Chain A
Amino acid sequence: EVQLVESGGGLVKPGGSLRLSCAASGFTFTNAWMTWVRQAPGKGLEWVGRIKSKTDGGTTDYAAPVKGRFTISRDDSKNTLYLQMNSLKTEDTAVYYCTAVSYWGQGTLVTVSS
């Protein structure tokens, strides 16, 4: 059974940092392209970014609103995906989902507020 479990969300002040994790199981993580998607309260889905598998280069792509502030990485030895979020803004408040091979986690809430 495929499972994606996000963690690390919480309340952070504007300008602060937070690192989200996504623990994956039930599929071959090393071969998977992993993606972060977010959803602000009452709003639609927003693609945040993606990291390819190492065999496909391990490169990352980001949405314009987060480029330069967010960094996606992966630890294939731990089957874990990360999202390092720096210089957080109030508009980054959202539920953050990790997705892979058409599966979605349940999300973790990040609230940026003073």
Chain B
Amino acid sequence: QAVVTQEPSLTVSPGGTVTLTCGSSTGAVTSGHSPSWFQQKPGQAPRTLIYGTSNTQSWTPARFSGSLLGGKAALTLSGAQPEDEAEYYCLLSHSGARVFGGGTKLTVL
């Protein structure tokens, strides 16, 4: 089973910009891996922010965007808000199955 890697933790200043990345043990991440990103706050169910690399949901704040960057999937937050402090997970498709990354704990400080 492929291993999906994310930064364990990142810190961003309020109003700042941060990029979270998602890599695969099988090689470069492409659109074929159909990267998705999820946000989870303590005590809550996850919610979907991004699917299919860069597609947003109606509830996704405009400050979040998805892309491919340097062989990885990326989630960029531009203009961080205190309410963005959360755990973020990416999900990649690998031969029919899907694999989550270990998550990135984002602190807004």
Count contacts on B: residues with CB < 8 A to the other chain.
Answer: 20
**Given A63-B1, A104-B47, A45-B97 contact (CB < 8 Å):** no
Interface of B is mostly: strand
Q: What's the interface size class on A, roughly?
A: 10 to 19
Is A47 in contact with chain B by the CB < 8 A criterion? yes
**Could you say which of B1, B87, B98 contacts A50, with CB atoms under 8 Å apart?**
B98
Q: How far is the CA of A58 from the CA of B13 in the complex (A)?
A: 46
User: Is B48 a contact partner of A47 (Cβ separation < 8 A)?
Assistant: no
Interface set of B (CB-CB < 8 Å, partner A): 1, 38, 40, 45-48, 51, 57, 87, 89, 91, 96-103
Interface set of A (CB-CB < 8 Å, partner B): 35, 37, 44-47, 50, 61-64, 97, 99, 102-107
